[in-house]
Amino acid sequence: MSLHFTKEHEWIRVEGDTATVGITDHAQSQLGDIVFAEAPEAGKQLTKGGDAAVVESVKAASDVYAPASGEVVEANPAIADDPSVINTDPEGEGWFFKLRLSNPSELDGLMDEAAYRAWVETL
Amino acid sequence: MADVPDTELATLPLDAWHRARNGRMVPFAGYHMPVQYEGIIAEHRWTRSHAGLFDVSHMGQLIVPLDATATLETLLPGDLQAMSEARPKYSLLLNPTGGIVDDLMITKRPDGWYLVVNGATKHGDMDVLRAAGLAFTYLADQALLALQGPDAVAVIAAHAPGVSELGFMQAGAFDLGGVQAWISRSGYTGEDGVEISIPASAADAIADLLLADERVRPIGLGARDSLRLEAGLPLYGHDLDETTTPVAADLLFAINKRRRAEGGFAGSDRILAELEQGAITRRVGFTVEGRQPVREGARILDVEGNEVGRVTSGGFSPSLEAPIGMGYVATHLAEPGTALTLEQRGKLFSAAVARLPFVPHNYHRKGKTA
């Protein structure tokens, strides 16, 4: 298992050739109360850096980008039913979707956890 | 305002007070202002159930001499001649084509006409007053607080005896914890409450005094926006601007009977004609199916797919737990219940025109027991 982070505040946890994607605790705290989330449907092909999901707080809409390319294998139904789980457990139960990676080497350019947390401190 | 460098933003008298209470500061109307403290939904609900303390010191407070009534009536459509002292009224500053330059509160006081105008527009408003030949005083050293919610009047009356005698839209001068305050029983949340004008030098002490009551919490701009939207109240710069007339904006109550008969205010030819024939568009509220908020700027379509207007305010109602909004539609589509389609980022949403307010007002009407 490996965990990576993007500068757009997504996390991606890789186990074998599949990966789970969500937004970071920093991202949810910046957005505030989340009232709507829409994850991509299974079967959708995503490209690294492209639009993957939508998350809306009371105040604003925000895009979630794909941290790596691949096919969506599962969307998290819990975030549609109760989007506030993204506020309460963004890096656990509030995950957005699972991806079958098409090019795992794309992960090389992402930050590890220590680098991400340190970078967020500078924002 | 988001691209204004931080260094060019002004600070409000309570800036340090907000930061000490973990207010998240954002640029708004040229100032650093708190958008939220604990969270918009919690703050919204606290205001609807207890009392929320808002810092609205960015708003402009002006005094126009009482002998300027006739000139002021050339800019505002209210019947100022008939106004009683200490009874605030909602009014509109109009341009020569009947567009809305600003919306404001006006009160007759012993020291003059007291105007409270929007923060983002106050300097432009003052230019309009100057151009009309009006002398006025800008009360730059007055802070303005709003205490809103069902417990608000009980809280302030403990420190300013007599405030509970005020009815909705009544005002007066009070001693508030040793500070000379002008207090109006009014607000912009749909709740009972007061707006408090005090010297900026006393703002920290008065904010602390009110917050010491466990029924009071500090509330940010985020919840102020969701509260006013639920209350069906337009926000200047979003739901109102210089291209909208009072008729299109559905603010006819701001144009009094005498003024409708006589005219003589900026843009009155157009506005009185629209009063008779109707405006082409009308401000309406709408509910949206599903849970996704539809924001300002989204297109409004009729059932045939023709564009009939734009969303001017859109968000999520914490009270209704559903998306709501306001916008302008062709007048024949303004009836409550009319089906609309909204388009946002290529996605279509089903919506329906709703009666305003979305959440009933809780104002303290005269003759009604508190």
CB neighbourhood size of B96 (10 A): 10
The neighbouring-strand residues paired with A45 are A71
Which residues of chain A have a CB within 8 Å of the CB of B315? 58-59
Which residues on chain B are in Cβ contact (under 8 Å) with A57? 40
DSSP letter for each residue of B337-360:
T-EEEEEETTEEEEEEEEPSPSS-
At B365 the pLDDT is 80
What does the pLDDT average to over A35-60? 96
Query: What residue of B is the nearest CA neighbor of A84?
Result: B41
**Chain B residue with minimal CA distance to A79?**
B291
Inter-residue contact B103 to B234 (CB < 8 Å): yes
**How confident is the model at residue B7, as a pLDDT?**
67
Q: Where are the domains of chain B?
A: 10-56+141-230, 280-370
**B10-56+141-230 against B280-370: fold identical:** no
Does domain B280-370 fall under CATH 2.40.30.110? My reply is: yes
Mean pLDDT on B34-53: 97
Please say whether the beta carbons of A100 and A120 come within 8 A.
no
Beta bridge partners of B348: B343
Decide if B37 contacts B179 (C-beta within 8 A).
no
At residue A107, does pLDDT exceed 70?
Answer: yes
Q: Are strands B216-218 and B51-55 parallel, antiparallel or unpaired?
A: parallel
Of B39, B291, B292, the CB nearest to A33: B39
Q: How far apart are CA B263 and CA B274, in angstroms?
A: 13
Instruction: Give mean pLDDT, residues A31-48.
Output: 96
Which numeric CATH code is attached to B10-56+141-230? 3.30.1360.120
Q: Compute the CA torsion angle B233, B239, B244, B249 (nearest 10 deg).
A: -30
Tens digits of per-residue pLDDT, B98-123?
Answer: 999 999 999 999 999 999 999 999 99
* B80/A65 Cα distance (integer angstroms): 56
Distance from CA of A17 to the nearest CA of B (A): 32
Residue range B4-28: average pLDDT?
90
Write out the two tokens for B76.
């505002």
Q: Do A61 and B293 touch (CB under 8 A)?
A: yes
Question: Is A56 close to B40, i.e. CB distance below 8 A?
Answer: no
Radius of gyration of chain B from Cα atoms?
A: 20
Average pLDDT, chain A: 96
Residue B39 with chain A: CB contacts under 8 Å: 32-33
Average pLDDT across chain B, whole number: 96
pTM: 0.94
Measure the CA–CA gap between B95 and A26, rounded to whole angstroms. Answer: 46
What the block records as the tokens of B138 is 């800008």
Q: How far apart are CA B329 and CA B308, in angstroms?
A: 5
Sheet with B137-138, strands from edge to edge, namely B89-94, B100-109, B112-117, B60-64, B137-138
Neighbours of B299 (CB within 10 A): 16
Which stretches of chain A are DSSP H helices? Answer: 25-31, 77-81, 85-88, 113-121
- What pLDDT does B4 receive? 55
> Are the Cβ atoms of B292 and A56 closer than 8 angstroms?
yes
Q: What is the mean pLDDT of residues B335-345?
A: 97
Reference B289, options B347, B244, B357, B346; nearest CA is B347
Contact check, Cβ <8 Å, B291/A61: no
Nearest CA to CA, how far is B66 from chain A (Å)?
41
CA-to-CA distance for B111 and B101, rounded, in angstroms? 25
Q: How confident is the model over B167-177, as pLDDT tens digits?
A: 999 999 999 99
Residue B370: the pLDDT is 42
